[in-house]
Amino acid sequence: MIDLYIMLVFLICAALVAVEMEDLLSAVVAVSAVGLGISISFLILKAPEVAITQVVVEILCLILLIRATIHKDLPFSTSGRWFINTTIAVVFVVMFIGAISLALQDMPPFGSPIMRVGSLYLRDGFAQTGATNLVTAVVLNYRAYDRLGEMTLLFTAFLGVLVVLRRRGRVTPGKTGEEDEE
């Protein structure tokens, strides 16, 4: 259990570094350190599926962020109404912490989850689906609606990117019409 706490402290430190860094590229690298630490935390908590997805998506987001920020110099604006901004931020943080502390009292204690449906999946999942990886059995057999929604989300993001970010716009209507398929 001590390794998990070490990893959590590392996560907090890396997040603070990412916030406080002046250079944008260094901040992106610090954020990627946060993602790697989250993935190792998932491995410590015995969730390799989530760790794989975390690492892979993290690499992709890192590439996208570096590619997006490496040629740009985006200055942070430090002037302006800092008092009002700070007050609003503090108020929202206090509200968030209060709501979280109220909500976490109803959670089951760490390490002893409520296994109403999960125990059924663990007992019958292999016999009912034939998949030895129970996570995939749940995600693609019992709860395939979730994955369908996820794919719909990705599809919508893809269509949005294709429609909004064109390399060359439509000069004359009807000349390049391949965006209007779906």
Partner 1 sequence: MTVPESHSFSIVVRTTARYVVRVMMIFGFYVMFHGQISHGDGFAGGVILGLAFIMMMLVFGTEAAMRYFSRPLAPRLVSVGGLFFLTIAISGFSGGYYLFNFIGQGQVFKVWGAGIVPLCNVAIGLMTTTCLIGIYAGLTRFKPGPGGKQ
Q: Is 17 helix (H, G, I), strand (E, B) or coil?
A: helix
- Give the type of residue at 100: I
Residue 151 CB, shortest distance to partner 1, in Å, is: 6
Closest to partner 1 by CB, 96 vs 179, is 179
Closest to partner 1 by CB, 60 vs 97, is 60
Residue 126 CB, shortest distance to partner 1, in Å, is: 8
Closest to partner 1 by CB, 18 vs 66, is 66
Question: How far apart are the C-alpha atoms of 113 and 102, rounded to whole Å?
Answer: 19
* Tokens standing for residue 101: 């502390």
Look-up: residue for tokens 């590229």?
Answer: 25
- Of the candidates 67, 58, 57, 34, the one whose C-alpha atom is nearest the C-alpha of residue 154 is 57
Residue 125 CB, shortest distance to partner 1, in Å, is: 11
* Tokens standing for residue 106: 């109803």
- Give the type of residue at 29: V
* Tokens standing for residue 124: 């019958």
Residues making contact with partner 1 (CB under 8 A): 48-49, 52-53, 56-57, 59-60, 63-64, 67-68, 127-133, 135-137, 139-141, 144-145, 147-148, 150-151, 154-155, 157-159, 161-162, 165-169, 171, 178-179, 181-182
Quick count: other Cβ atoms within 10 Å of Cβ 165?
A: 7
Residue 112 CB, shortest distance to partner 1, in Å, is: 24
Closest to partner 1 by CB, 123 vs 166, is 166
